[in-house]
Structure 1
Amino acid sequence: MNCPACKNEIKQAHRCPICDLDIDLYRKIKSISIGLYNKGLEQAHNRELTDAIDSLTKAVEFDKSNVDARNLLGLVYFEMGQVGQALTEWVISTHFKKEDNIANDYINQIQANPRKLEMYNDSIRMYNQAIEYIRQRSEDLAIIQLKKAIQQSPNFVEAYCLLALCYIAQKDKSKALSYIEKVLEIDISNPKAIRYQKELKSTLRPQATERARTVGKHEQKRTANTYFSPLGQIVGFIVGAICTAALLFILVIPDKTNHLNKQIADLNTENQRLEGELAKVTRESQETITSLEEEIAKMAETNEELQQKQNAIEEAQKITQAENLYKNNNVAEAASLLMSIDADNIPEASKTAYNTLADKVFKDAGRYHYNTGLNNYSKGDYTNAKLNFEKSFLYVKDQYYSDNALYYLGRIYETEKNIEKAKEFYQQAIDQYKGTDGAANSKKRLNSLQ
């Protein structure tokens, strides 16, 4: 296998000879991720979808490159009507495995049917609109939107739950229960649906319970009248009870007392033995828990270390990509890519190259976007002009044209009737670039707006 951090080939070593990564621990992390994937697969087969999401999410947390777990997580989200979440997982999966990845097929199938994708988007929009109606206390309108959402996306679990909640608010608990049972047909482990079902079933039975109590009282009354009405039977019963008690006291109770005392002694002995065993098991369990917690903490630390190294490698690759773009005169793309790099994650060996490249690229990109912005501004294309001036000022702030970039941004916002924003840019040009044409022009415009 290859080291996941530095890609060095490793045969039998327990640690990478190049970067000193703990290979045994890395294998353990991979093994835990696979185990969680298998658990999630079984839960998905059993339609325990919420539990499956929990297991599969943990699987990809331990090993973000576990594409099988990520693809299955996307399928589970899709089955619950959460298409956006499903697409997110599949896109991430294709990042880790571009070829021979079934996630590509899933994405293509959705993209090949734009009408279906539009229906999913409509269902989300209707669901959000329903939430807004509920905030306005308009449950009737919310119900209409949710029913439409379910028609567009028949497995939209959250829509079913919210619809049930609306019916609960309208005190139509039978309808609410029918929608909750539909949720549990899709996802038998949905905690929200299980809680709603329990509450609804408990409130739908009070009449039957009350009838049972009434029948019990009448039966008890009838029985009492049957056995205790005649006075002679009462006297006979009392005399018989006294005689029986005397006989028990004389003949039976002493023997029973001795037997019970022996049982109590035996139970005390057994109780002491069980307490000893319980203390032993508790002690051993605590030791096991402590050991597992230490191992999990170590795994998490290693996972974090791997993540940091992976991020560093990715940032170094971005520098190389930006350099190639710059050499091919793609200045704007190179600057955008460099701006996305997290400077804290750049390897020490690459920091000098990054700083040198960034200095050249940002200067050229700033000038390019400024000139493009001027061209847009002269043509009346204020939207693109504003975008280019903002990018120019983002990349460099110490060039001969930086003051004018702020001035033109102020003019554009003034044209758009956003006077407060225009004043902000004029004031910034005045404060930061005193003595320049941009500052002087900004001061004139600012005075005219006062």
Structure 2
Amino acid sequence: MHDIKSIRDNPQAFDAGLKRRGLAPLSASLLAIDERRRAAILASEQAQARRNAASKEIGEAKKSKDDARASKLMAEVAELKTTMPELELSAKTADEELAKELAALPNLPLDDVPEGADEHGNVQRHLYGKIRNYAFTPKPHDDLGGALGYMDFEAAAKLSGARFVVLKKGLARLERAIGQFMLDLHTNEHGYTEINPPLLVRNEVMFGTGQLPKFEDDQFWAIRGELLVAPDERLKTDRLGLIPTAEVSLTNLVRESIVDEKELPMRLTALTPCFRAEAGAAGRDTRGMIRQHQFTKVELVSVTTPETSRDEHERMLSCAEQVLQKLDLHYRVMTLCSGDMGFSAQKTYDIEVWMPGQGEGGAFREISSCSVCGDFQARRMDARSRGPDGKPRFVHTLNGSGTAVGRALIAVMETYQQEDGSIAVPAVLQPYMGGLKSIERDK
């Protein structure tokens, strides 16, 4: 959420930020609404002040037995009683209009974010590891899982439709092992506090992290026990949203509160199922597990002071990278350009892992996004901190995948596949697999 005072103070900078996001300048229209809002508020306040003063003057006039003046003042108060609700409604309407306009606008990119309209403008930050050489042609994960008999898309389709999967036996255990490994790494070595949050949240919680209002159709909604996508207007007040990422629950833990800055940075992590309608992804990644309606993810969230958020962003990226390093997976880190960042982000790093079975000769696929959001989400949540001077100020929030468990499973399967179709278990995961070193088809 943007601060209208900041826009008022520097409209040119605001419009320049919107332009980098691929949007037209809006400061003039926003400031026109703001001017109307401020004028309405001032008129309402002046009317209230005049009513109070006139009421006091009526008493004085009656005390001095000036009936004519008292009668005139009483008529004025009666007229104010009639006009004041109209003035208050005008102020309220303008305030709601401004809030609606501001709520629909994305965060503005930081100065060091590269220019670009889409993913083609993203810039490689660094590369880790090398592409493995195979004495055979690597297969995609769905072929591997199908041949093992442990990845079943047809059974999932009977249960839930497209973009779902049933994992069995060794692959089900491997996915669980990957998630547990990530949680242990982030809590034991990186200082994150493990949280088990709700998976169903209120509208205002979705609004706080930026899923509402713009991305309403991308969410699944639970209404009286029924799962609906893009529900009817009359039902929107009687629903809970299934979280698309644990970022939603974790970040909102500080909503409508003032935390002591001694408690910051607050670092939280959770392993949860996530649910996405993928309304804007029709026809994309329809094969395999790349883009599912339901998937598991380890999320990282940090709540910091404004002075430390940029350093925390670099730290969060490092924590997510260590997951892939310990799994010995080849990956690259991309700095997203201004036109490819998420709605709430000021700056984003994407980690893309190499998947040798994707396409012709393999491909990099996103497995983590780490974003710093500044005070954008904090303003939507009214999340503040109190420093040594005792004055409250908005916190800064960050979020990152640490990482997507399903995509890590895919990367492990494709990277560690053997010529006979079995999957070697990475050394770091073997303790979570009861010492199992290979996943093979039942004989």
For this structure pair, what is the TM-score category when the shorter chain's length is used for normalisation? under 0.3
Give the strand-richer structure, 1 or 2. Answer: 2
Q: Which has the larger radius of gyration?
A: 1
Q: TM-score, normalised by structure 2?
A: 0.15
Structure number with the higher helix fraction is 1
